[in-house]
Structure 1
Amino acid sequence: MDNEIYLDGNATSAVLPAALRAAVYAMEARYGNPSSTHGTGLQARAMLDAARARAARLLGTGSGRIMFNSGATEGIQTAVLSALCAVRARRAAGKAAGSLLVYGATEHKAVPESLAHWNALLGTGLELVALPVGADGRHDLQALRRLAPEAAFVCTMAANNETGVISDLAGIAAALEGSPALWMVDCVQALGKLPLDLADTRIDYAPFSGHKLYAPKGIGMLYVRAGAPFTPLMKGGGQEAGERSGTENMAGIAALDAVLAALEEGGTFRSHAELHGFRDRLAQALRQALPGIAFNAPFDKTLPTTLNFSVPGLSSKELLDLFDAAALRVSAGSACSAAKAQPSYVLDAMGLPEWRSSSAVRLSFGPLIDEATVAKACARIARCGDALRLSGLLGDGAAARPDGLLQLTADGRHTWLVLDAASGTCAVIDPQPALADRIGTLLGAHGFRLAARLSTHDGGAWPVSGDTLHLGSRSLRRVALDTGGVCYLLALEGDTPRHALTGSADPAGLAGLVPPDILLCPATEAQAALCTTLRPCAAAADMHLDSTAVAALLRNSPGALLVDVRELHEHAAALPSTRAQAVNIPLSRLAGELPRWLAQAEPVPLVFFCRSGNRSARAASCLRSVGYAQAYHMHGGIALSDLR
């Protein structure tokens, strides 16, 4: 995507042009098997040996060994297997070996998962202990000194992938003085960003991953200190001096060597001073765009290529969706955990407040970044701040008041707001504590007066003596249910009710109490993601369209409507080419639009889209379920389409 600004370098990187050329050259001209003894094989062997020698020089391995592998996870597995096999052998020989497997509490999950896996598989019965960190993200060295005498294996990292915090490796080494423990240091984020002279340390194992620094995915290295115990993870043809069998990935090795050559020769990557300057500019842009922003690690102890931050009142998902709409690619911590939507265990380990660990965003870049990219990124960040103000999420500068029904969801539960723009009054149904700040900011930004805070559970806090609450041109009528709960019928004055805010009531128990075609607005996602009716229709399989099918539908149906269901702030942050082709009806306001669409004499095709296709699928499914047969969505969202 031409307009994309990629700021997720700690997850992966683009491939350096020189690395791409080197990989192609290896496949075209040096395709021999480096284990073959003929001329073509010897040419490949020479390239392999040169790459290994360069890596050894650059990393200062001395008499230690460098082996090429598939990446950091394989390197970690190999190091863990080697260490645990050595511990088992020592214990079998009656030697002191330690009883603890100590790992930093902020390690990448590949480390504790690997430790637990091989500990169980080998039957070593060692105790896994998470080494705590301080509020600055650095390891607690006093705790390590206490653990060191009984430590069998210690795993730390050179720099953290989520926060960029740089470990005090010299302090860790001092704390391990006299300990029998073997030591692995995850150097994935250190390559090209920190000076490394491995032979001058007591580090036994150090894994590296090429794709974090402009090499392709699937290539990495493992350093093993001279004399450190070693057990191959894979046995077979004896490649890599018998330490890692399997024909070498020569294209990947050639590409990685090109990156290492760029590091060794200089001139390709930005200096540390330049990277610090770029980070400071990005941080200032974030401060100006996002009032109240909290940076989650001290700048003086972190890599200059990583910023981890949280914004009060905004979740990680909301911020990621906002930045993604502006074609700024950032992430919420580790890419490996991004789909799990959990608070950051790294920030939790640092003792930061829950709101910061659950709403953290990571902005990271590689040392190839340039001035033009930073300037463009700062402008996009400012655009995102303006979009938040326009939507009222920052509490100032809001656009026109929202009007009608608004849905907010947290932890699988819905809160519904009835907003009457003309009178500036609002009622909140089933408010959740987790949404209190959001609702307060929204109402304050638009000048709404909270007329009622209502519950469907017991009907408490009803502010008037009768059964009808008037909110300007709207009314809410209270209906008692046989279960003891309450539902609220929403209507424009003089009109029949169009929505029933039903809480957790079973729809079957509402028959006869609400109009048969009314839209039911439940309390939980388990009941319905949006709305349903007493006579729902099944969602059809043909509602999923790829971008080609969407283009064909729009050509063949001139009246069709393309609907962006991203929230107002996302739509406002989106680049103009995306916004020009669609109307914006956020998913949170879709329930209020349904009556208008359902009342059409001749329904037009509606094609919903969003960033990834998840929200648009919910929108189309909702319309199909209430009988609107011409509802579709763009499968895969903008991310997989030609719509920009």
Structure 2
Amino acid sequence: MNTQNSLSQIYLDANATTPVLPKAAAAALATMETMFGNPSSSHISGLQAKQIMDNAREKAQKVLGSGNGSVIFTSGATEGIQTGILSALYSAKSQMETGKTYTILYGATEHKAVPESLKHWNTILEINAQIKAIPVNRDGDLDLEFIANEVPNALMICTMAVNNETGVFQNLSHLEQVIRKHNTNVYWMVDCVQALGKTTLELANTSIDYAPFSGHKLYGPKGIGFVYIRENAPFTPFIAGGGQEGGLRSGTENLPGLAALNIIFDMLLSNNDESFTDVVQLHKFREQLASALKKSFPEVVFNHSFKNSVPTTLNFAIPGFSSKEMMDLFDAANIRVSSGSACSSKVTRSFVLDAMGLPAWQSESAIRMSFGPAMTQIQIDTACERIIQSAKALGRSCLTFDSNQISPKENLNGLVQFKVGGSCTWLYVDQTSKSAIIIDPLAEITERLSTILNCQNLTLTAVIDTHGHADHVSDRGRLADKLTPIQETDPLGWPISCNYKVLNGHRYPMIKVGEKYLVKVATPGHTDDSISLILCSEADTELKIDYVFCGDMILMGSLGRTNFATSSSEHMHHSIQLLHNIIGNESLLCASHDYNNEFVTTISAEMDRNTLLAQVINNDIPVTDFVAQKVGLDKNINDEVGSEIMCGAFIKSCNKKKVTDYNSQTLSDAMSQSSDMTLIDIREPHEYVLGHDQQFGLNVPLTRLVDFISAHQDKSEPLVLVCRSGSRSHIAAQALARLGYKNVGHLKGGYALNN
């Protein structure tokens, strides 16, 4: 199976790591093959190896302007950080006075390796000083007044030369003046990892005591780095053993890494080597990228000032788009970017931008583009073309709308699910009548919904809440005022003037959506105003139920909480039975919350894991017992999950179902043996169109998965789901399996690992 994206890779994540330059890689390989001696050996092979190490140290000293200071080779920046912190704190401990309070200072935007190491050694050495973060302003500059006030009692101060997320550089000269004016003896470490090759360093002309560096941040291999130690600065070996590095750092030297560094240092020291672009041109590269972003996304917000940041970093946010959405978009165009520090991929917002006081949405939506001095004009030109191409591709999903210039759009028809955290908004579109309804609108996606409706030329028939929400403010009013004809509604948005539909022998309020009916059923319990909305149609004189928007009455893995002032467990008991009598066991339930990425459920699926619900449906529990059990259940609600108010206590979370994990070979084999296997690409349309020149499988965006489930009731059909990395496809496959689909698999590792 060929899943290759034909676009060449454009790598814009150099602050995380850089590719090894061919010359450096060749030097490392040649050293492994022909100069593999141990530098500590006295024979010729050892002497040749030692010369490589000595040359690298001599060149490093010139690059750093280290003077009489020491340069010690390490495994990387983290080891260099440990070396500096251990050396400083071990020495400082011997100078501490009994009864005096001490602090350790570090910049609030420092790489996490620094504060975590400070905490570690502060505890291990039993110093127990108070560790304080130095605040920064909106531009990321350290608070000099704070330093002036705190540094007199500080044992150590740690700052950065250049920030890895924003590229913001500190004025080391000004910092030094403040630090030394108020404490001439405090130990000072400067993380210089992102400074190498981007700023001029003359460390011997400063009072910096320790400065760690990393080879893989500047086109060298991983596993090699070095640390500068100022002359006469205290030093304690972090690694003891065989006495290598003059007893300062034991362990057999990484000779291939040193050979690669030799080449990198030659490039930095040469005035004629064209491998590295000069600073003036690097500034032009950043301006070119920034211009492409502004052209493609007019509302782009840059999260740092270009005046005090190195030219190789851009950190920005696009209003209305999460960082994951933008990363997926750029990845589909084969542009590699980051959402922040690559060392902390699970973090959903940037502590650096938080420390700078930026709004939460900018921190949550931040994207970092970074490149190194080996970037070329051709690569920048290609990157800009791809950025513009990516923005145009969003038009296919109607996520951007420009009537003059837009990609062929994907016509929406059916149900679309939008999620913000654990909350859901539902959009139903009838393409024939060009009408739409929105259920439980969230403020965070109002602009996106408006863009989609305008792009698709849709008339908004109604915007309805299933209940008054306690966990967020509904944006129903703003959407209704903006997009619907003037109509009188009740507080939840249901039109006062409506027709009626008979369901199960009873008349219920109804509005038409194309040829379908949206029926309102009062289902109080979670709140006294709770309603359920049933989308249905006539089929051969029988009623066909498409979707049931049940609000927070029946949640996936739970029942909605009933401990609000307007709640009633007794009413919920009755509402569950009423709804079941109308919709049966297999109708699709679209809840207002989806905390575990299960998308949709049925009463049958919930009864399998929710004994309390099963008892109510089967009429096996009196109302009084249900009320008593519900009180106990609601006591388990945890309201401390992020910023969300949880709307139900989970009886049982998502049951993990067995799905088949394929790789490219096993999938090709399976497809050759089964002609009825359906391959489903669940990326969004804009990702899909960027990622493939030709049609590849069926495109069912994750936001349309519920619509796909509704249309594909044959649960024995072999289905294989595919996405970029395998994470979305695995979640979707699990959801299908939970609903009874018998033959579901996914491509493990996605396109990323199966090219």
Letter of the 2:586 partner, please give it.
D
1:413-449 CA distance string (max 9 Å, x none): 2221122223333222222233333323322333333
| Separation (CA, whole Å) in 1 of partners of 2:40 and 2:516 | 80
Match of 1:626 among 726, 729, 739: 739
Checking the alignment, whether the CA contact within 8 Å between 1:560 and 1:604 is kept in structure 2 is yes
Bigger Cα displacement from structure 2, 454-463 vs 607-616: 454-463
What is the CA distance between 1:189 and its match in structure 2?
0.5
Alignment of 1:55-70 (within 5 A): 55-70=60-75
Deviation per CA, 1:372-405, whole angstroms, max 9, x where unpaired? 2111111111111101223221233462541211
Q: For residues 582 and 177 of structure 2, what CA distance do their matches in structure 1 show? A: 74
> What does residue range 348-427 of structure 1 map to in structure 2 within 5 Å?
348-397=354-403, 399=409, 401-427=411-437
Query: Structure 2 counterpart of 1:144, which letter?
Result: I
> Which moves more between the two structures, 40-49 or 80-89?
40-49
Once the two structures are superposed, residues 294-336 of structure 1 have per-residue CA deviations (whole angstroms, 9 ceiling, x without a partner) of 1111212211111111111111111001000111100111101
Contact 1:498 1:595 in 2 (8 A): yes
Please tell me whether residue 594 in structure 1 is matched to residue 695 in structure 2. no
User: Structure 2 matches for 1:536-551, cutoff 5 A?
Assistant: 536=605, 540-551=657-668
The 1:396–1:446 alpha-carbon spacing in structure 2 relative to 1, beyond 3 Å, is: farther
The AA in structure 2 aligned to 1:119 is N
Q: Does structure 1 retain, via aligned residues, the 8 Å contact 2:398–2:410?
A: no
Per-residue displacement from partner, 1:599-638 (whole Å, max 9, x unpaired)? 58xx542221111111111222222222222322111111
Matches within 5 A, 1:215-234: 215-234=220-239
Question: 1:332 matched to which residue of 2?
Answer: 339
Report the counterpart of residue 110 of structure 2 in structure 1. 107
Write the distance in 1 (CA, Å) between the matches of 2:417 and 2:738: 18
Contact residue 522 and residue 528 of structure 1 kept, 8 A: no
| Higher mean C-alpha displacement, 531-540 vs 138-147 | 531-540
Counterpart residue identity of residue 449, structure 2: I
2:574 equivalent to 1:526: no
Deviations 1:515-546 (A, max 9, x none): 22212222323365212223339765342211
1:225-624 superposed matches below 5 A: 225-265=230-270, 266-341=273-348, 343-397=349-403, 399=409, 401-457=411-467, 460-464=492-496, 465=498, 466=500, 467-481=509-523, 483=525, 485-494=530-539, 495-506=543-554, 509=576, 511-526=580-595, 529-536=598-605, 540-576=657-693, 579-599=694-714, 604-624=717-737
Indicate the larger mover: 72-81 or 422-431: 422-431
Distance in structure 1 (CA, Å) of the matches to 2:379 and 2:600: 43
1:502 maps to a residue whose letter is C
Q: Is the 8 A contact 2:282 2:311 kept in 1?
A: yes
Contact 1:132–1:139 (8 Å) recurs in 2: yes
* CA deviation map 1:569-601 (0-9, x unaligned): 22233241xx5222221010111121222158x
Partner of residue 179, structure 2: 176
- Distance in 2, Cα, partners of 1:615 & 1:367: 35
User: Over alpha carbons, which structure has the higher Rg?
Assistant: 2
- The 1-side partners of 2:99 and 2:260 are apart by 44
CA distance in 1, matches of 2:520, 2:679: 36
1:63 Cα deviation (Å)?
A: 0.5
Quick check: 2:300–2:319 contact (8 Å CA) kept in 1? yes
Q: Partner residue of 1:83?
A: 88
Alignment partner, residue 477 of structure 2? none
1:185–1:203 CA contact under 8 A, matched in 2:
yes
Aligned-CA RMSD value: 2.2
What is the deviation of 1:559? 3.4
Q: Which residue of 1 aligns with 2:27?
A: 22
- Is the CA contact (8 Å cut-off) linking 1:620 and 1:632 kept in structure 2? yes
3-state SS in 2 of match to 1:497:
strand
Q: 1:191 to 1:419 in 2, by over 3 A?
A: same
AA of the residue aligned to 1:410: V
Q: Distance in 2 between matches of 1:483 and 1:65?
A: 72
Summarize the Cα distance change of 1:497–1:559 in structure 2 as closer, same or farther, 3 Å threshold: same
Deviates more, 1:624-633 or 1:218-227: 624-633
1:371 & 1:582 partners in 2: Cα distance?
Answer: 36
In the superposition, the TM-score normalised over structure 2's length comes to 0.80
Cα deviation, residue 9, structure 1: 0.5
After superposition, the Cα gap between the structure-2 partners of 1:210 and 1:528, relative to the gap in structure 1 and judged at 3 Å, is: closer
* In 2: Cα distance, 1:95 partner to 1:590 partner: 65
Q: Is the 8 A contact 1:610 1:616 kept in 2?
A: yes
CA contact (8 A) 1:331 1:338 kept: no
C-alpha displacement at 1:358, in angstroms? 1.2
The question of whether the paired residues in 2 share the 8 Å contact of 1:544 and 1:633 is answered with: yes
Q: Which residue of 2 aligns with 1:636?
A: 749
Worse-matched range after superposition: 358-367 or 549-558: 549-558
CA contact (8 A) 2:659 2:744 kept: no
2:624 is matched with which residue? none
CA 1:528–1:329 in 2, change beyond 3 Å: closer, same or farther?
closer
Unaligned runs of 5+ in 1: none
SS at match of 1:541: coil
Percent identity between matched residues is 43
Query: In the alignment, residue 601 of structure 2 is paired with which amino acid?
Result: T
The secondary structure found in structure 2 opposite 1:347 is helix
Distance 1:278 1:589 in 2: 39
* 3-state secondary structure, aligned to 1:189: coil
**Larger mean Cα displacement after TM superposition, 56-65 or 417-426:** 417-426
Cα deviation for residue 193 of structure 1 reads: 1.1
- Aligned-residue offset at 1:340: 2.3
| Structure-1 residue corresponding to 2:36 | 31
Normalising by structure 1, report the TM-score: 0.94
The offset of 1:482, in angstroms, is 6.0
Q: Give how far 1:210 is off.
A: 0.5
Instruction: Point out the more displaced range, 531-540 or 200-209.
Output: 531-540
Q: Could you tell me how far apart the structure 1 residues matched to 2:590 and 2:322 are?
A: 24
For residues 175 and 597 of structure 2, the distance between their equivalents in structure 1, rounded to whole angstroms, comes to 52
- In the TM superposition, residue 351 of structure 1 has moved relative to its aligned partner by 1.6
Q: Which residues in structure 2 correspond to 1:181-220 (within 5 Å)? A: 181-220=186-225
* Helix, strand or coil at the partner of 1:190: coil
Q: CA deviation at 1:229?
A: 1.1
Post-superposition offset of 1:7: 0.7
Which amino acid in the other structure matches residue 696 of structure 2?
Answer: Q
Structure 1 CA distance for aligned equivalents of residues 659 and 442 of structure 2: 36
Aligned amino acid, residue 449 of structure 1: T
Gaps of at least 5 residues in structure 2 are 469-490, 501-508, 560-575, 609-654
Contact 2:659 2:734 in 1 (8 A): no
Q: Which segment drifts farther, 146-155 or 479-488?
A: 479-488
Per-residue deviation at 1:553?
A: 2.1
The one of 29, 46, 54 equivalent to 1:49 is 54
Letter in 2 for 1:541: K
Tell me the distance in 1 between the aligned counterparts of 2:411 and 2:459.
12
